[in-house]
Amino acid sequence: MSRRGGLPGAAAFVLGALLFATGSAQAATKGEVLMVMRQSPPKGSADQEIVDHLRTAGYRVTTSEGIGENPDVCRYDLVLLSSTVRSNQFTAERSFVRTLRNMQVPLLTWENDLLDDLRYTGLQRDTDFGELETGHYAWMVRAPHPLSAGIPAGLTTWTEARQPAGWGKPGLGADIIMVWPGEADKSMLFAYELGATMDHEFLAPARRVFIGMDNATFSHMTENGRALFDAAVLWAIQGQRTSPCVSLSAHSALD
| 155-214 pLDDT tens trace | 999 999 989 999 999 999 999 999 999 999 999 999 999 999 999 999 999 999 999 999
Instruction: Encode burial over 43-78: b for 16+ CB neighbours within 10 A, e otherwise.
Output: eebbbeebbebbeeeebebebbebbeebbebbebbb
Question: What number of other Cβ atoms are within 10 A of residue 218's Cβ?
Answer: 22
Identity of the residue numbered 146: P
Please name every residue paired with 125 in a beta bridge, in sequence order, or none if there are none: 129
Q: What's the rounded Cα separation, in Å, for the pair 84 and 43?
A: 10
Alpha helices in the chain (DSSP H): 2-28, 47-57, 87-92, 94-102, 223-237, 248-251
CATH architecture observed for domain 31-251: 3-Layer(aba) Sandwich (3.40)
Hey, is 152 helix, strand or coil? coil
pTM: 0.85
77, 237 Cβ separation under 8 angstroms: yes
For the stretch 65-89, pLDDT in tens is 887 778 999 999 999 999 999 887 7
Domain ranges in the chain?
Answer: 31-251
Q: Give, as one character, the DSSP assignment of residue 121.
A: B
